[in-house]
Amino acid sequence: MNTLGWHIHQWARRLGVAGLAGLGLLIAALLLQMIQVEPMQRATMAQRERLTQLQLETAVQNPAPAPVSFNPLAMLPPTGEAAQLIGELERMAQAHGLELPSGQYSVTPLTATSLLRWQLILPVEAPYPALHAFIATALERLPNLTLDELKLKRERIEDETLQADLRLSLFVETAP
């Protein structure tokens, strides 16, 4: 036993204070690893295995639903409703204090589709807030309506009314 003590004393002398401090910290880290970290790692692995098992059970009980195909073109109104939609557009304009005295309407089929495009060119004279409200309402209520172009003109800066040219497209589906 005396020789063991002598060897420990020699090693301590060779390591010095810094070496002994490092050796003590190494021993403390190993103890901490064994006492704290390894049990936590085992618990984490057990939880992961349990989670995987539960996910598999849920997948077997509730199979994934078949993907639903969404075709927005199927929601378009038929060609026969185009006149009603244009009438609704005119009623919205009147509700916002706008008059649509004249307009140009043209119908063109879209190639390689079953769609018709009604192009509406509407000259309007109105204050900006009323024009903005009309366009916002029309685009909100008629999802098959698009605003293609908007030209605004004001004669003088102090004028409250604008001269606007609206170019709108209304899409409808032709009969199959």
Do residue 92 and residue 134 come from a single domain?
A: yes
- Say if pTM beats, i.e. exceeds, 0.85: no
The total domain count for the chain is 2
Pull the structure tokens for residue 17.
Answer: 């204070």
Identify whether residues 1 and 52 lie together within a single domain: yes
Assigned domain for 69 exists: no
* 151: CATH: 3.30.70.60
Q: What is the pLDDT of residues 7-62, one digit of tens each?
A: 888 888 888 888 888 888 999 999 999 999 899 999 999 999 999 998 888 877 77
Do 81 and 55 lie in one domain? The reply is: no
Indicate whether 14 and 89 sit together in one domain.
no
At which of 61, 84, 109 does a domain end?
Answer: 61
End position of a domain, from candidates 61, 84, 108: 61
pLDDT, tens digit, 9 for 90 and up, residues 113-169: 778 888 999 999 999 999 999 999 999 988 888 999 999 999 888 888 889 999 999
Same domain membership, residue 87 and residue 29: no
For residue 68, being part of any structural domain is answered with no
Q: Which residues of 54-79 are buried (b: 16+ CB within 10 A; e: fewer)?
A: eeeeeeeeeeeeeeeeeeeeeebbeb
Asked if 166 and 124 count as a contact pair (C-beta separation under 8 A), the reply is yes
Q: What is the domain range of residue 119?
A: 74-173
Residues 168/145, Cβ–Cβ less than 8 Å: yes
User: Is there a domain that residue 2 lies in?
Assistant: yes
- 86 and 3 share one domain: no
In this structure, the chain runs to a length of 176
